[in-house]
Amino acid sequence: MARTPALEFVLTRVAWKVLCMILESQGRVMGGDGKIKEETMERLTGENGFVRAGLVLLVLIVVIGTLYVANQTKQGGVEKDVAEAGKAVAGDLEQAAETVRDTSQDAFLTAKVKTALALSKSASAFDLDVDSDEGTVTLTGAVPSNDVKTAVLDVARDTAGVLEVVDRMQVDAHVGPAPDEELAARLTELEIESAVYERLLHADEVDARWMRVLVDGRVVRLTGSVPDSNQRERATALVASVAGVERVVNDLEVSPGG
Protein backbone atom coordinates (compact mmCIF):
# COMPACT_ATOMS: atom_id res chain seq x y z
CA MET A 1 0.00 0.00 0.00
CA ALA A 2 1.42 3.36 -1.06
CA ARG A 3 2.02 5.85 1.71
CA THR A 4 0.00 9.10 1.36
CA PRO A 5 1.95 12.09 2.78
CA ALA A 6 -1.17 14.14 3.47
CA LEU A 7 -2.89 11.27 5.29
CA GLU A 8 0.30 10.52 7.17
CA PHE A 9 0.62 14.12 8.27
CA VAL A 10 -2.97 14.43 9.44
CA LEU A 11 -2.86 11.08 11.19
CA THR A 12 0.40 11.92 12.88
CA ARG A 13 -0.75 15.35 14.00
CA VAL A 14 -4.07 14.07 15.40
CA ALA A 15 -2.36 11.25 17.22
CA TRP A 16 0.32 13.57 18.49
CA LYS A 17 -2.10 16.22 19.78
CA VAL A 18 -4.14 13.66 21.68
CA LEU A 19 -1.03 12.02 23.07
CA CYS A 20 0.33 15.41 24.13
CA MET A 21 -2.85 16.16 26.02
CA ILE A 22 -2.42 12.94 27.98
CA LEU A 23 1.32 13.15 28.60
CA GLU A 24 1.88 16.89 28.68
CA SER A 25 1.60 17.08 32.48
CA GLN A 26 4.36 14.51 32.76
CA GLY A 27 6.81 16.65 30.77
CA ARG A 28 7.59 13.81 28.40
CA VAL A 29 7.06 15.61 25.09
CA MET A 30 7.43 19.31 25.90
CA GLY A 31 10.60 21.32 25.97
CA GLY A 32 11.50 23.89 28.56
CA ASP A 33 10.02 26.65 26.43
CA GLY A 34 6.66 24.90 26.26
CA LYS A 35 7.16 23.74 22.62
CA ILE A 36 7.13 20.22 21.30
CA LYS A 37 10.59 18.71 21.19
CA GLU A 38 11.85 18.71 17.60
CA GLU A 39 13.56 15.34 17.84
CA THR A 40 10.29 13.79 18.95
CA MET A 41 8.45 15.12 15.92
CA GLU A 42 11.25 13.99 13.62
CA ARG A 43 10.91 10.45 14.89
CA LEU A 44 7.22 10.52 14.16
CA THR A 45 7.44 12.15 10.70
CA GLY A 46 10.58 10.48 9.42
CA GLU A 47 10.98 7.53 7.04
CA ASN A 48 8.86 5.24 9.19
CA GLY A 49 6.60 8.03 10.46
CA PHE A 50 3.42 6.47 9.16
CA VAL A 51 4.10 3.29 11.09
CA ARG A 52 4.99 5.26 14.20
CA ALA A 53 1.80 7.27 13.88
CA GLY A 54 -0.16 4.04 13.78
CA LEU A 55 1.64 2.86 16.85
CA VAL A 56 0.81 6.14 18.57
CA LEU A 57 -2.86 5.57 17.79
CA LEU A 58 -2.58 2.04 19.10
CA VAL A 59 -1.05 3.36 22.29
CA LEU A 60 -3.83 5.91 22.54
CA ILE A 61 -6.45 3.21 22.17
CA VAL A 62 -4.82 1.18 24.93
CA VAL A 63 -4.46 4.22 27.20
CA ILE A 64 -8.01 5.45 26.63
CA GLY A 65 -9.39 1.93 27.04
CA THR A 66 -7.51 1.52 30.30
CA LEU A 67 -8.80 4.86 31.58
CA TYR A 68 -12.34 3.93 30.57
CA VAL A 69 -12.20 0.58 32.35
CA ALA A 70 -10.73 2.22 35.45
CA ASN A 71 -13.44 4.86 35.41
CA GLN A 72 -16.19 2.27 35.01
CA THR A 73 -14.70 0.23 37.84
CA LYS A 74 -14.62 3.29 40.04
CA GLN A 75 -18.20 4.13 39.19
CA GLY A 76 -19.18 0.55 39.86
CA GLY A 77 -17.55 0.78 43.26
CA VAL A 78 -19.44 3.98 44.03
CA GLU A 79 -22.72 2.45 42.91
CA LYS A 80 -22.00 -0.57 45.08
CA ASP A 81 -21.30 1.68 48.06
CA VAL A 82 -24.50 3.62 47.41
CA ALA A 83 -26.48 0.38 47.12
CA GLU A 84 -25.03 -0.91 50.37
CA ALA A 85 -25.75 2.40 52.09
CA GLY A 86 -29.31 2.25 50.79
CA LYS A 87 -29.73 -1.24 52.19
CA ALA A 88 -28.38 -0.07 55.54
CA VAL A 89 -30.82 2.86 55.64
CA ALA A 90 -33.71 0.56 54.68
CA GLY A 91 -32.67 -1.80 57.47
CA ASP A 92 -32.62 1.07 59.97
CA LEU A 93 -36.07 2.22 58.86
CA GLU A 94 -37.44 -1.30 59.17
CA GLN A 95 -35.93 -1.62 62.63
CA ALA A 96 -37.43 1.73 63.62
CA ALA A 97 -40.84 0.55 62.45
CA GLU A 98 -40.43 -2.65 64.49
CA THR A 99 -39.47 -0.56 67.51
CA VAL A 100 -42.61 1.55 67.20
CA ARG A 101 -44.78 -1.55 66.88
CA ASP A 102 -43.10 -3.14 69.89
CA THR A 103 -43.64 0.07 71.86
CA SER A 104 -47.40 -0.10 71.19
CA GLN A 105 -47.47 -3.70 72.36
CA ASP A 106 -45.46 -2.70 75.42
CA ALA A 107 -47.98 0.03 76.27
CA PHE A 108 -50.78 -2.52 76.05
CA LEU A 109 -48.90 -4.94 78.30
CA THR A 110 -48.20 -2.18 80.82
CA ALA A 111 -51.91 -1.33 80.95
CA LYS A 112 -52.80 -5.00 81.46
CA VAL A 113 -50.34 -5.41 84.35
CA LYS A 114 -51.57 -2.20 86.00
CA THR A 115 -55.15 -3.34 85.64
CA ALA A 116 -54.33 -6.74 87.15
CA LEU A 117 -52.61 -5.04 90.08
CA ALA A 118 -55.55 -2.69 90.58
CA LEU A 119 -57.92 -5.67 90.70
CA SER A 120 -55.77 -7.47 93.26
CA LYS A 121 -56.84 -7.09 96.89
CA SER A 122 -53.23 -7.30 98.04
CA ALA A 123 -51.66 -4.88 95.54
CA SER A 124 -54.39 -2.46 94.50
CA ALA A 125 -53.83 0.01 97.34
CA PHE A 126 -50.31 0.96 96.29
CA ASP A 127 -49.23 3.19 93.43
CA LEU A 128 -46.47 1.33 91.61
CA ASP A 129 -44.69 2.18 88.38
CA VAL A 130 -44.85 -0.46 85.64
CA ASP A 131 -42.62 -0.46 82.58
CA SER A 132 -42.72 -3.07 79.80
CA ASP A 133 -40.09 -3.89 77.21
CA GLU A 134 -40.72 -6.80 74.85
CA GLY A 135 -42.36 -8.93 77.50
CA THR A 136 -40.09 -7.92 80.36
CA VAL A 137 -41.96 -6.01 83.05
CA THR A 138 -40.10 -3.84 85.56
CA LEU A 139 -41.81 -2.85 88.82
CA THR A 140 -40.65 0.13 90.88
CA GLY A 141 -42.10 1.93 93.87
CA ALA A 142 -42.62 1.24 97.56
CA VAL A 143 -44.72 -1.34 99.39
CA PRO A 144 -45.23 -1.73 103.15
CA SER A 145 -44.03 -5.34 103.48
CA ASN A 146 -42.37 -8.28 101.79
CA ASP A 147 -45.71 -10.07 101.73
CA VAL A 148 -47.20 -7.29 99.62
CA LYS A 149 -44.14 -7.34 97.37
CA THR A 150 -44.54 -11.06 96.82
CA ALA A 151 -48.22 -10.60 96.00
CA VAL A 152 -47.40 -7.86 93.47
CA LEU A 153 -44.77 -10.01 91.77
CA ASP A 154 -47.17 -12.94 91.55
CA VAL A 155 -49.87 -10.79 89.93
CA ALA A 156 -47.41 -9.40 87.38
CA ARG A 157 -46.04 -12.85 86.50
CA ASP A 158 -49.55 -14.22 86.03
CA THR A 159 -50.54 -11.51 83.55
CA ALA A 160 -50.85 -12.77 79.97
CA GLY A 161 -47.94 -11.66 77.79
CA VAL A 162 -45.43 -11.22 80.62
CA LEU A 163 -42.25 -13.19 80.02
CA GLU A 164 -40.12 -11.88 82.88
CA VAL A 165 -40.54 -9.60 85.90
CA VAL A 166 -37.77 -7.35 87.22
CA ASP A 167 -38.26 -6.36 90.86
CA ARG A 168 -37.04 -2.88 91.78
CA MET A 169 -39.56 -2.29 94.55
CA GLN A 170 -38.53 -1.17 98.01
CA VAL A 171 -40.08 -2.13 101.33
CA ASP A 172 -41.12 0.87 103.40
CA ALA A 173 -43.28 0.27 106.47
CA HIS A 174 -44.46 3.88 106.39
CA VAL A 175 -46.11 3.54 102.99
CA GLY A 176 -49.88 3.74 103.30
CA PRO A 177 -52.65 2.76 100.93
CA ALA A 178 -54.28 5.25 98.59
CA PRO A 179 -57.83 6.46 99.33
CA ASP A 180 -60.62 4.26 98.08
CA GLU A 181 -61.95 6.94 95.76
CA GLU A 182 -58.57 7.27 94.07
CA LEU A 183 -58.27 3.50 93.73
CA ALA A 184 -61.67 3.25 92.13
CA ALA A 185 -60.91 6.01 89.62
CA ARG A 186 -57.56 4.47 88.77
CA LEU A 187 -59.11 1.07 88.22
CA THR A 188 -61.75 2.50 85.90
CA GLU A 189 -59.16 4.29 83.76
CA LEU A 190 -56.91 1.23 83.59
CA GLU A 191 -59.77 -1.04 82.55
CA ILE A 192 -60.75 1.38 79.79
CA GLU A 193 -57.17 1.79 78.62
CA SER A 194 -56.61 -1.97 78.40
CA ALA A 195 -59.89 -2.50 76.59
CA VAL A 196 -59.14 0.26 74.06
CA TYR A 197 -55.65 -1.05 73.30
CA GLU A 198 -57.00 -4.56 72.86
CA ARG A 199 -59.76 -3.37 70.53
CA LEU A 200 -57.38 -1.32 68.37
CA LEU A 201 -54.50 -3.78 68.19
CA HIS A 202 -56.78 -6.63 67.18
CA ALA A 203 -58.74 -4.69 64.56
CA ASP A 204 -57.82 -5.76 61.02
CA GLU A 205 -59.15 -2.57 59.47
CA VAL A 206 -56.95 -0.24 61.56
CA ASP A 207 -53.16 -0.09 61.80
CA ALA A 208 -52.74 0.79 65.47
CA ARG A 209 -48.98 0.35 65.64
CA TRP A 210 -48.41 4.11 65.72
CA MET A 211 -51.22 5.00 68.16
CA ARG A 212 -51.12 6.02 71.80
CA VAL A 213 -54.05 5.87 74.20
CA LEU A 214 -54.52 8.34 77.05
CA VAL A 215 -57.43 7.99 79.46
CA ASP A 216 -58.74 10.70 81.76
CA GLY A 217 -61.79 9.55 83.63
CA ARG A 218 -63.96 8.14 80.87
CA VAL A 219 -62.53 10.33 78.12
CA VAL A 220 -60.12 8.62 75.72
CA ARG A 221 -57.62 10.61 73.71
CA LEU A 222 -55.89 9.06 70.68
CA THR A 223 -52.51 10.37 69.56
CA GLY A 224 -49.97 9.25 66.98
CA SER A 225 -50.73 8.55 63.32
CA VAL A 226 -52.61 6.30 60.89
CA PRO A 227 -52.02 5.68 57.17
CA ASP A 228 -55.24 7.31 55.91
CA SER A 229 -58.32 9.30 56.92
CA ASN A 230 -60.60 6.26 56.72
CA GLN A 231 -58.59 4.51 59.43
CA ARG A 232 -58.68 7.68 61.49
CA GLU A 233 -62.47 7.69 61.43
CA ARG A 234 -62.62 3.95 62.02
CA ALA A 235 -60.40 4.28 65.10
CA THR A 236 -62.82 6.76 66.62
CA ALA A 237 -65.71 4.38 66.06
CA LEU A 238 -63.84 1.43 67.55
CA VAL A 239 -62.86 3.32 70.69
CA ALA A 240 -66.35 4.76 71.13
CA SER A 241 -67.72 1.22 71.14
CA VAL A 242 -65.61 0.19 74.16
CA ALA A 243 -67.62 -0.17 77.33
CA GLY A 244 -67.15 2.72 79.75
CA VAL A 245 -65.94 5.24 77.15
CA GLU A 246 -68.03 8.42 77.19
CA ARG A 247 -66.08 10.55 74.72
CA VAL A 248 -63.26 10.15 72.21
CA VAL A 249 -60.80 12.91 71.38
CA ASN A 250 -59.13 11.96 68.13
CA ASP A 251 -55.79 13.73 67.70
CA LEU A 252 -54.46 11.16 65.23
CA GLU A 253 -52.55 12.51 62.26
CA VAL A 254 -52.82 11.05 58.77
CA SER A 255 -49.38 9.90 57.63
CA PRO A 256 -49.21 7.54 54.63
CA GLY A 257 -45.72 6.46 55.67
CA GLY A 258 -46.91 5.44 59.12
Confidence of residue 97 (pLDDT cuts 50, 70, 90): very low
**Which of the two residues, 16 and 131, has the higher pLDDT score?**
131
Q: Is the pLDDT of residue 81 over 60?
A: no
Among the ranges given (141-155, 181-195, 213-227), the one the predictor scored with the smallest mean pLDDT: 181-195
Share of the chain above pLDDT 70, in %: 59
How much is the pLDDT for 64?
Answer: 62
SS3 assignment for the chain = CCCCHHHHHHHHHHHHHHHHHHHHHHCCCECCCCCECHHHHHHHHCCCHHHHHHHHHHHHHHHHHHHHHHHHHHHHHHHHHHHHHHHHHHHHHHHHHHHHHHHHHHHHHHHHHHHHHHHCCCCCCCCCEEEEECCEEEEEEEECCHHHHHHHHHHHHHCCCCCEEEEEEEECCCCCCCCHHHHHHHHHHHHHHHHHHHHHHCCCCCCCCCEEEEEECCEEEEEEEECCHHHHHHHHHHHHCCCCCCEEEECCEECCCC
Give the span between the Cα atoms of 130 and 120, in whole angstroms. Answer: 15
Q: End-to-end CA distance of the chain, in Å?
A: 76
How much is the pLDDT for 123?
Answer: 82
- What is the residue-averaged pLDDT of the chain? 76
The tens digit of pLDDT for each residue in 26-47 reads 444 445 554 554 555 555 445 4
Confidence of residue 106 (pLDDT cuts 50, 70, 90): confident
The tens digit of pLDDT for each residue in 174-199 reads 988 877 788 888 889 999 999 999 99
From residue 180, give the alpha-carbon distance in Å to each of 118, 185, 186: 11, 9, 10
Q: Is the pLDDT of residue 74 over 70?
A: no
Q: What is 179-258's CATH number, 3.40.80.10, 3.30.1340.30, 3.40.50.720, 1.10.10.10? A: 3.30.1340.30
Region 13-32 average pLDDT: 54
How much is the pLDDT for 124?
Answer: 80
Region 210-230 average pLDDT: 93
Q: Is the pLDDT of residue 239 over 60?
A: yes
The tens digit of pLDDT for each residue in 55-68 reads 555 655 655 665 55
How much is the pLDDT for 21?
Answer: 59
**What are the sequence ranges of the domains in the chain?**
179-258
Give the span between the Cα atoms of 50 and 53, in whole angstroms. Answer: 5
- Is the whole model's pTM more than 0.85, yes or no? no
